[in-house]
Amino acid sequence: MFRAELLGLVTTTATKVTALVAVVGLIVTQLAFVTLMPALADGDIGPGLDALGSDFPVLDLASRAVQLDALNPLGASMGNGSIGVALLAITLFGVLAGTSDDRYGGIVGAVLASPKRFRIVAAKAGAVALIGAALGVVLGLVSLVTLLITLATSGTPFVLGFADLAARFGLGILAVTALAVIGLAVGLIVRTQLAGVLTMIAILILEPVVVSMIQLITGGVLPVWTQFLPVALAQGVIHGGAAGLGPSVVIIALVTLTAALTAAASAALSRRDI
């Protein structure tokens, strides 16, 4: 069943399109982060830093922190709750994987082949996780190549060691895999493709809006629970921890959230009339 689900995913147009959108979106985001923003800050293009204001972020590409952030497979950002094209494409890949069987009737054959429906969800989750991990590797390499080309053209040294690269790649792959499976769970729970896509987009957009509103109300102090929202958790895992939370805490929280949503999807499919 796992092989059937995997074959079904790799041969569908939706998987190829979402992967392509994620890669292209990441390239545009990374180029803006490592080339456009430093050029604006230096005054090479645009009105210059004085006109842009003191709040405009000045990035030091020679620093370890900025180079690590540039290796983010979801796209470098200035905040843990930020979303980008790559993140949106990854989660929608999961949603489409979870709703395609209902749309085209394939779920009937799957249930006839395996009456224990939790096995169907497990096979889907395994296939989506494997493709999500592969996509995480590709996105990590895209970020690395973009950073290396930018550093080479500007004459800036690459200061990261093998341990930094291995940690950032491993955590990035974990985050991308979890987001893809979360999208799958949402798709299985909501069932229809349009509702699943709209639900996932609403979740991703509402999270930074809610966090920003709370930040304004509390004067910049965010409650701890905001670090356990899906996007914040994924970004927290990639960055090796969030504000006030260690790396092990955010990793366990993201894995727990993914497992809980997958269990909820299994329960929803078990009670559903096919």
The parts of the chain modelled with pLDDT lower than 70 are 49-58, 77-82
> Is the Cβ–Cβ distance between 259 and 238 less than 8 Å?
no
3-state secondary structure (DSSP) of residue 242: strand
3-state secondary structure (DSSP) of residue 61: coil
Q: What is the amino acid identity at position 261?
A: L
Q: Report d(CA 192, CA 196) in Å as an integer.
A: 6
pLDDT at 77: 63
pTM: 0.89
The phi and psi torsions of 36 (rounded to 5 degrees) equal -70, -50
Q: What is the amino acid identity at position 213?
A: M
pLDDT at 177: 96
Residue pointed to by tokens 């690459």: 158
Torsion of CA 267, 5, 20, 39, to 10 degrees: 50
The phi and psi torsions of 245 (rounded to 5 degrees) equal -120, 135
Six-digit token string for 16 = 């190829």
pLDDT digits (tens, 9 = 90+) for 226-255: 889 998 899 899 988 777 788 999 999 999
pLDDT at 55: 67
CA-CA-CA-CA torsion sign (89, 228, 119, 273): negative
Residue 2's alpha-carbon distances to 57, 129, 252, 266, in angstroms, are: 46, 11, 25, 16
